[in-house]
Amino acid sequence: MMPFESKNIIVTGGAGFIGSHIVDRLLAQKANVTVIDNMHTGQQKVVEGHRKNKNYKLARVDIFKEPALLIKEMKNIDFVFHAAANADIRNGIKNTRVDLEQNTIATCNVLEAMRLNDVKGICFTSSAAVYGEQKSIPTPEDTPKVQNSLYGASKLACEALIEAFSFYYGFRHYMYRFVSIVGERYPHGVVIDFVNKLKKDPKKLEILGNGRQKKSFLYINDCIKGIFTGIERSKNQNNVFNLGHDNVILIDKVADLVINGMGLEKVERYYTGGEVGWLGDQPMVLLSTERIKALGWKPEISIEDGIRRTVKFLLEK
Ligand SMILES: NC(=O)c1ccc[n+]([C@@H]2O[C@H](COP(=O)([O-])OP(=O)(O)OC[C@H]3O[C@@H](n4cnc5c(N)ncnc54)[C@H](O)[C@@H]3O)[C@@H](O)[C@H]2O)c1
C-alpha cells in the first residue's frame, strides 16, 4: 500500500538525518514533498540529491521564528511528518531555553499551522528520552515517566500538545519514541564522537562514563520501515509506538566496533567514570516494541552491523 502517492506532504527537518530518509521513502511513493528546514543541521549534499526530483521542494523556513511562513506552506497539505528539532540532548543543561523553543514551541507552531489549514494527520519523531529514568526494562509505552533531561521533557510536552490538538480538532497522530538511530547520514551521537576523537588521536579514546552503559541502537532503514508500518497498518486514530532493537550493546563494545572499523590497534581507553556519560543519560536503554511488532514490524539489521555501516559512512563522507 502506498498511502502517500500524489499526496502533498510536509516534512519538517527533512534536510536532516531521519527527516531526509523519510523524504526518500515519500519520493519513492511519488508523493509531492515540501521540506521545511532552516538548515541549522540540515545536510546540503542530501538536499542537492533530493532537488533532482521534480516532486521535491525545499522551503527554508524556521518553524520557531517564522510561524507566518509555516502557515503559508501548510496550505493544501494532506499530512505532516514533523522531524525538525534540537536533537542535541546533552546541551540542555547549559542552555535551558533551546529545547523549549526548538521542540515544544516549534511543535505548537506546526500544530497551529495545521489547524488553520485543516490538515488532519501528523507523524512525530519523539524519543526514548521521554521515559527519563527508566524503571521498567524493556520499557513499554505506558510506563510512568520521570524526567531527567530538558530534551526529554520538551519531547513529552510535544506529545502532550499533539494529543490535545488531536482531541480538539480530530487530528490523526503517529508518535514514535526512538532509541539512538544509526546509519547513512548519521550526524550526532556516540559513534561520531568516537570517530572524531580517534581521527584526532588514533592512540587514545576518551569514553564518557564507565563504558558499561548498555544501549539499544536501531539502523535507519529499520526505523523508517517502523514509521511507515505504523502509519500504513494501524487502524487507530491516535498512536504511540516505541522503536528500538531487541538487544543492547555495551558502550565499550561500540568503541571496539569503531576502533576495528577504522583499522586501528592498541588504542588506550580513558573513562570519565560513573554509571552514565552525562547528567540526563541512562545506564540502560531497552524499549519494549511489542506494539509495533504486532503490526508486523521487526528490526532486520543487528546493532553491530548498524554501527559498522555508520563507521563506514563516516569514513567515506
Ligand atoms: N537521531 C536519533 O538518534 C534520534 C533519536 C530519537 C529522536 N530523534 C528525533 O528525530 C528527529 C530528527 O533527528 P535527527 O537525528 O535527524 O536530527 P538532525 O539534526 O539531523 O535533523 C533535524 C533537522 O531539523 C532542522 N531544524 C532544526 N530546527 C529547526 C527549525 N527551528 N526550523 C526548521 N528546521 C529546523 C535541522 O536543520 C535539521 O535538518 C528529531 O525530532 C529528534 O529529536 C532522533
| Interval between CA 29 and ligand 1 midpoint (Å) | 23
Q: Edge-to-edge, what's the strand order for the sheet holding 79-82?
A: 56-59, 32-36, 8-12, 79-82, 121-127, 172-178, 238-243
Q: How far apart, in whole angstroms, are the C-alpha atoms of residue 152 and residue 158?
A: 10
Looking at the fold, whether 31 and 98 belong to one and the same domain comes out as yes
pLDDT value of position 68: 98
Number of Cβ atoms within 10 Å of the Cβ of 267: 18
pLDDT value, residue 134: 87
Instruction: Return the pLDDT at 1.
Output: 54
Mutational test site, ligand 1, from 18, 177, 227, max ligand atoms within 8 Å of CB: 18
Q: Residues 16, 83: one domain? A: yes
Q: Please tell me the distance from the alpha carbon of residue 73 to that of residue 77, in angstroms, as a whole number.
A: 8
DSSP β-bridge partners for residue 217: 180
Domain assignment present for residue 167? The answer is yes
Return the bridge partners of 197, or none: none
CA distance 75 to 147: 36
What's the pTM?
0.98
Structural domain range at position 131 = 8-179+218-243
Measure 192 CA to ligand 1 centroid, in angstroms: 16
Best mutation site among 127, 220, 224, 313 for ligand 1, i.e. most ligand atoms within 8 A of its Cβ? Answer: 127
Instruction: Quote the CA–CA distance of 207 and 82 in Å, as a whole number.
Output: 33
For the record, the C-alpha cell of 48 comes out as: 542537492
Atom in ligand 1 nearest the alpha carbon of residue 84: 24
Question: 264 C-alpha to center of ligand 1: Å?
Answer: 31
Tally of structural domains, the chain: 2
Query: Which grid cell is 55?
Result: 516532486
CATH of the domain at 83: 3.40.50.720
Whether residue 202 sits in one domain with residue 141: no
Nearest to 116 by CA among 155, 86, 80, 84: 80
Q: Which neighbouring-strand residues pair with 230?
A: none
Q: What confidence score (pLDDT) does residue 87 get? A: 86
Q: Are strands 180-182 and 249-250 parallel, antiparallel or unpaired?
A: unpaired
Rounded Cα distance between 142 and 149, Å, is 19
Residue whose entry in the numeric block shows the C-alpha cell 502557515: 71
Domain assignment present for 38: yes
Q: Are residues 305 and 172 in the same domain?
A: no
d(CA 99, CA 152): 9
pLDDT means over runs of 10, the chain (317 residues): 89 98 98 98 98 98 98 98 93 94 98 98 98 93 96 98 98 98 97 98 97 97 98 97 97 98 97 92 96 98 98 97
> CB within 8 A of 40, min separation 6: which ones?
none
Does 279 lie in the same domain as 144?
Answer: no
226's CB contacts (< 8 A; 6+ apart) are 176, 218, 241, 243, 292, 297
Classify residue 285 as left (phi > 0), alpha (psi -120 to 50) or beta: beta
C-alpha 204 to ligand 1 mean position (Å): 30
Burial of residue 74 (number of CB atoms within 10 Å: 0-12, 13-18, 19+): buried
Query: How far does the centroid of ligand 1 lie from the alpha carbon of residue 176, in Å?
Result: 13
Q: At residue 283, what are phi and psi to the nearest 5 degrees?
A: -70, -25
The CATH number of the domain holding residue 200 is: 3.90.25.10
Per-residue pLDDT at 5: 97
| Ligand 1 environment, Cβ below 6 A | 13, 15-19, 36-42, 62-64, 83-85, 87, 102, 106, 125, 127, 178, 180-181, 187
Determine the length of the chain: 317
Residue 150 resides in a domain: yes
